[in-house]
């Protein structure tokens, strides 16, 4: 459960979540081009569908998150993709909540940013499998970060959610493994057949600066 429902969090946390999300959305959407929309829409649809398939674990449930995959494919656009997917889930399926939308977007979107930054450094590894390695690492860390965020927020609400907060992390350990394998395989495949679908590595960005070329959209 990385979606927190309405009525769980205090108003101060809800307000902070919306405040941070608005600021980050402005950054995420800045300079977006029309040609980016199809890829963003594709990933948003994947996020929307994946989070609707739940597996019960004790008093809570888990599901695929795919925020790591969103990060390695969309870069800073990932937060906007996460926000749209969560909004649609809350409106059409009451999954999560509208009052907690800002917090939920933060919990899933910030780890997507983290995955993006980790994946950008894949060129540090001189191996044909570097996309697989860094894609899997980025996705696993993204899921773990989301679970930790949710756990900390639940703990902050009081003793009533202490046990669930601990269970959230434990329940997502198999999800971390699954998403690492999925994202690693996807990154490796895309690197071979459609590398433009992945965010560029740091070396490519540096070369663009040195050659005086246009700044990459994710720089």
Per-residue tens of pLDDT for the chain, all 219 residues: 678 888 889 999 999 999 999 999 999 999 999 999 999 999 999 999 887 776 666 656 677 899 999 999 999 999 999 999 999 989 988 877 899 999 999 999 999 999 999 999 998 999 999 999 999 999 999 999 999 999 999 999 877 777 888 888 888 898 899 999 999 999 999 999 999 999 987 644 444 444 444 434 443
The reported pTM is 0.86
pLDDT tens digits, one per residue of 147-158? 999 999 999 987
Collapsing DSSP to helix, strand or coil, 55 comes out as strand
| CA gap 149, 127 in Å, rounded | 33
Burial letters 32-65, b for 16+ CB under 10 A, else e? eeeeeeeebeebbebbbebbeeeeebeebebbbb
Q: Which of 119, 206, 144, 212 is nearest to 2 (CA)?
A: 144
Query: Architecture of domain 11-210 in CATH?
Result: Orthogonal Bundle (1.10)
pLDDT, tens digit, for every residue of 95-134?
A: 778 999 999 999 999 999 999 999 999 989 999 999 999 9
- Tokens 């941070």 — which residue? 20
Nearest CA to 82 among 198, 162, 74? 74
Helical H runs in the chain? 11-29, 37-50, 67-74, 78-93, 101-120, 130-156, 162-171, 173-193, 202-210
Domain locations along the chain = 11-210
Can you give the three-state secondary structure of 82-139, one letter per residue? Answer: HHHHHHHHHHHHCCCCCCCHHHHHHHHHHHHHHHHHHHHHHHHCCCCCHHHHHHHHHH
Q: Cα–Cα–Cα angle for 121, 28, 119, nearest 5°?
A: 15
């Amino acid at each position: 459960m990385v979606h927190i429902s309405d009525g769980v969090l205090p108003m101060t946390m809800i307000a902070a979540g919306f405040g941070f999300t608005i600021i980050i959305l402005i950054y995420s959407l800045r300079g977006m081009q029309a040609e980016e929309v199809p890829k963003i829409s594709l990933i948003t649809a994947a996020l929307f569908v994946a989070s609707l398939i739940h597996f019960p674990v004790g008093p809570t449930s888990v599901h695929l998150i795919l925020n790591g995959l969103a990060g390695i494919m969309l870069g800073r656009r990932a937060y906007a993709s996460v926000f749209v997917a969560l909004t649609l889930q809350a409106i059409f399926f009451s999954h999560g909540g509208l009052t907690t939308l800002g917090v939920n977007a933060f919990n899933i979107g910030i780890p997507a940013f983290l995955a993006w930054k980790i994946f950008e450094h894949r060129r540090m590894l001189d191996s044909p499998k570097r996309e697989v390695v860094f894609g899997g690492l980025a996705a696993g860390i993204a899921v773990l970060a989301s679970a930790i965020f949710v756990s900390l927020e639940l703990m902050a609400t009081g003793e009533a959610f202490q046990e669930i907060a601990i269970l959230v992390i434990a329940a997502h350990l198999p999800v971390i493994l699954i998403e690492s394998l999925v994202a690693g395989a996807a990154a490796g495949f895309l690197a071979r057949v459609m590398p433009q679908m992945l965010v560029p590595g740091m070396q490519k960005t540096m070369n663009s600066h040195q050659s005086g070329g246009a700044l990459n959209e994710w720089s």
